[in-house]
Amino acid sequence: MKRICLIVLLTIFIPATLFAEGSDTDRINSVGLGYGIQYGIAGLNVDLHLVQNLYVSMGLGTIMVSEDFAYNLGFKYYFLSPDSAIRPRVSLFFGSNDIVEVDIMARGEDGEWGTADDFVDESEWRRYPGWTIGAGLQWMLGESKRHGLDLDVYYIAWSTLDVDEMETKDHEFTDEPADVGFAIGYRFAL
């Protein structure tokens, strides 16, 4: 599965870097490595220029606590041009935004659910897709503005994870995940 993800990642990112749209500044598209929703939790992100200050953004990474992968696809709108060192932005993503450890319960000796002798049969990590909105900035360093940092705060607007339904229907339990997250990463302008 990891090899398939790597092949898909390279199929997307290599053509994006080789055939990137040129510009006056020659720093329109970018690739990043970091942690957070836009990076597929821990992985790579590519921003491709669509129209003035609007970018399509793709992320693919790994969920560090399991052997699964995470993805995100969305848009970023920058308020300033690529010539600016600090570029505030807003973003909208669809993809992996909730990753939780799920305890799968088993019935105890009495054969009834919800009694004191129920026990955790196994635990596993699961990812759930949904919509995420964010705000942050890209801070490009130096005179060439080719290397920089990404800093973002995200709000999970909607997720397919429904903790109450999971507990009632499947007798699986997890802690309610946080609605707010962050991202930090290194960015290289192409």
Look at the chain and report how many structural domains it folds into: 1
pLDDT in tens, the chain (190 residues): 444 444 444 454 444 444 444 444 456 899 999 999 999 889 999 999 999 899 999 999 987 777 778 999 999 999 998 889 999 999 999 999 887 878 777 767 776 766 666 677 777 777 889 999 999 999 999 888 899 999 999 999 998 887 777 677 666 677 777 889 999 999 999 8
Domain that holds residue 114: 2-189
What is the H or E stretch that residue 41 is in? strand 41-51
Predicted local distance difference test score (pLDDT) of residue 47: 95
pTM above 0.85, yes or no: no
Which domain CATH number covers 43? 2.40.160.20
Beta strand pairing status for 41-51 and 54-62? antiparallel
